Structures are given as structure tokens and as C-alpha cells.
Amino acid sequence: MTTQISFLGKSQIDNRTGYRTARYRFPDGSTAETAFFGLALAGKLHPQRLVLLGTSGSMWDTLVENQAPDDRPEQPNLEQPRLELMDAVRADAVNDAHLAPLAPLVEARIGCPVTLRIIPYGRDAQEQIAILRVMAEAVAGRTQDGVTLDVTHGLRHLPMLALVAAFYLERVQGVEVAEIYYGALEMTQDGLSPVLSLKGLLEVMDWVQALAGFDRDSDYGPLAPLLERAGATGQQVQHLRRAAYVERVFNHELARQHLLPLRGLLRDGLPGVAALFTDPLARRLEWAEGTAAPIRLAAMARHRYQQGDYLRAAIAGTTGFLAGMARPGERLSDFSTFEAIEQAFRDGQRGNPDLRQDYEALKRLRNALAHGTPPRHDESRRALADEDRLKTAIASLLDRLLPG
């Protein structure tokens, strides 16, 4: 089932229709002449359900009268509800009870079930949240439905709220927003008003959320479908997903090998909406560009530290320190290599023995953060008791153990 949600505003440009009649041109080139864009859109899309939202002062009476048949004697039971609705519109006091008995008039013209609902004006945060709640209730229990939003009519700030609502419906309610339409009357040329798609704005919000999630969780995974839509090959997307996994299990060298194939994609620039995020994404992956493993891991450790991800900072720091003692030909994608390097360092066969205490201190912090158990070492326990002390301790250790 598909659901269309449209808004109804307040206008007296035309005494009969309220809105000015316009000929709207859809993206496929077809046109429709109407004063109520939402109804024309429903005629175009043939939704299985239409939800019309408006305030207590929206021109509900004009909408109903415009849809009512001329032969009114056939429906005498609706005369009183019509008159009550007209009075309520003039008093800015329309409620859902006024609208319910009149919805069949619109249904008869549209050819699908119609729900008419009152929303507040959105004058403050409480009313704005109430609008989101009404929209969520309109699609409650319909997670398999596709929803189309029409933000043409209504108060001027409602399109912004509708965009937030679309994101909310997708991310919280699990409803797919198929499209967001706006009939741009103010862009009329040669008698045609273009119908614009605003769905790209949702993709911007998807990118923002994915990058925020990466900064929080160091997970490339949510970026994969966005890159795929931006034109990345299936192989490139698979490399990103694989990098997300192996970095989560702290195999940074193998993660780097999977990230390198994305360099060309980012260097050439991403198309469309994704172009806004080419540079931010490249900056987040630049740790993989370093030619030497210690430099790459040092950059990662400091980046994780700046994000407040102290565990990953400590892991990258200890790993980067050991990588600095690797010999040519040793495979840093193999955990056993690091075990051998660490043992050689402890035996005094590699590295600077003066750094042993610093390494052990960072490793104790790493283990305590990973396991969630208090360390036995007094200095480590004191550092973990306060975030400022922990930050100072990790920063100092990273500076002493890592290059640059």
C-alpha cells in the first residue's frame, strides 16, 4: 500500500478554489491543471491512501465545496456538517470532528480512502513535535508502505518540518519515503509550474548521519550504500564493507589495503549530492594514505583520541609503536607478527628500552578500557577515574611513543 501525505494551507486568492489555478508540469513531462496540487498529484500517482493535513484555519470549506458534486439534494445529510465547517473555518476553530463526515466527498473524487486531520500551526517546539506525531500516527503500523510527501501548500515553514518528518519516518518508524514533491508556482514560466523533487535533501541528511556515525563508532558500513548510489562499483563497495569489518577487529593494516581502492573514486569526486561529502570522507580516510605503517597508525590513534574514542586510540597507539619496530618483509596484517615484535622488544632485541614503561602504561590503559575492569596499577587506576586525567595520560603517551 502507498500513502500520500499532503498539506492544506490558508489562501483567498480565488473565492471559489482558494488557491490560484495553475498548470503543473511533472518530471516526466505530463501536466495537470488544478488549484489543489495534492489532489492532482494523487490523480497522477494513484496512492492507495491520501492523508490531508491542515490547521484549524486552513481552507477546509473551500476544499470540500470544490470537491462536492453540484447535485446537493442527493446528500442532505451533509448540509449541516458543511455549514458547521464554514463557520469553524471563519473562527479558526476546525477540529477533526468537523472533517470526519466530509472526507467521503473527497474520497469520491480521488478514488481512494482519504483522511483529513488537523495539525497545530507549529508556533513552538511543542507544536512542531505534535505535527511530527500526527504524521507518524498517519503511517503507524504501515512499515511496508511507501510514503510520498507533498509540501506544496500549507504554511511556509511546514516544508522544513516535513523534511524532518520524512527523516523521522524513515529512521524511526521504518517507513520508506519514496519522494518529496513541491509544486513551484513561483517558478511558473510560459504558463507551466514545475514540480520539483526534494528527495535529494533526504540523501544529504543520510550522508550527515552516516559521517556522524563514523565519527562516533569508526564504522564505514553505513557509507557503503551511499557510495553505491553515488556510482561506486560493486567491488569498491565490497572493499569498504570489508574495511569496516577488519578495522572493527583492529586489523588496521588489512583495513588500509581495502581502503586504498577508494582513492581514485574520491580523487575524481563523487557526483550529485555526494559531491558535498567527497572532501569530508577523504579526510576521514586519509590515515590510510601514509606510506609507513607507524605514520598511518599514529594518525589514526590521534584521530580516535580527538573523537573521544580512547580505546581505539590506545589500540592504534600500541599497534603503531610495535609497527615502528617491524623489519622489511614482516606482514603487519598478521597478528602473530605483532606478538613476535612485542616479545623481541621485551627481550631487548628491538626498539628503545627507555620506552618500555610508556608502552606498558599505554597497554594497561588499553586493556582496562577493553575489558572494563579496574587495573591493578595505581597510576592507570587514577587516570581512568577522571576523563581529563585519562586524556592527558593518553596524549602524553602517544606523543612519546609515536612519530610526528
- CATH number for the domain that contains residue 57: 3.40.50.10640
**Does residue 125 sit in the same domain as residue 236?**
no
**Does residue 85 sit in the same domain as residue 114?**
yes
Sign of CA dihedral 204, 207, 211, 216: positive
**Does residue 248 sit in the same domain as residue 299?**
no
C-alpha cell, 129: 513535535
**Does residue 57 sit in the same domain as residue 158?**
yes
Residue 143, pLDDT score: 60
**Which domain range does residue 167 map to?**
2-197
More confident residue, 48 or 140: 48
Residue 177 burial by CB count (10 A; 0-12/13-18/19+): exposed, middle or buried?
A: buried
Kindly report the pTM of this predicted structure: 0.74
Q: Is residue 320 part of a domain?
A: yes
Last residue of a domain, which of 257, 289, 321?
A: 289
Q: Is residue 211 part of a domain?
A: no
Query: What φ, ψ does residue 178 adopt, rounded to 5°?
Result: -70, -35
**Does residue 278 sit in the same domain as residue 369?**
no
Residue 272, pLDDT score: 85
**Does residue 227 sit in the same domain as residue 169?**
no
In the predicted model, what is the mean pLDDT of residues 222-231?
Answer: 88
Residue 76, pLDDT score: 56
Parallel/antiparallel/unpaired status of strands 22-25 and 31-34:
antiparallel
**Does residue 186 sit in the same domain as residue 124?**
yes
**Does residue 230 sit in the same domain as residue 366?**
no
Kindly report, residue by residue over 175-205, the tens digit of the pLDDT: 889 999 999 988 999 999 999 998 888 889 9
Q: Is residue 206 part of a domain?
A: no
Domains identified in the chain, total number: 3
Write down how long the chain is.
Answer: 404
**Does residue 322 sit in the same domain as residue 369?**
yes
Residue 176 φ/ψ region, left for φ over 0, alpha for ψ in the -120 to 50 degree band, beta for the rest: beta
Last residue of a domain, which of 197, 224, 254?
A: 197
Residue 142, pLDDT score: 67
**Burial code of 14-44, b = ≥16 C-beta within 10 A, e = fewer?**
eeebbbeebebbbeeeeebebbbbbbbbbeb
- Residue 364 · residue 317 · CB < 8 Å: no
**Does residue 358 sit in the same domain as residue 275?**
no
Kindly report, residue by residue over 5-46, the tens digit of the pLDDT: 999 987 655 445 556 889 999 999 999 998 889 999 999 999
**Does residue 54 sit in the same domain as residue 138?**
yes
Is pLDDT at 246 greater than 90 in this prediction? no
**Does residue 129 sit in the same domain as residue 236?**
no
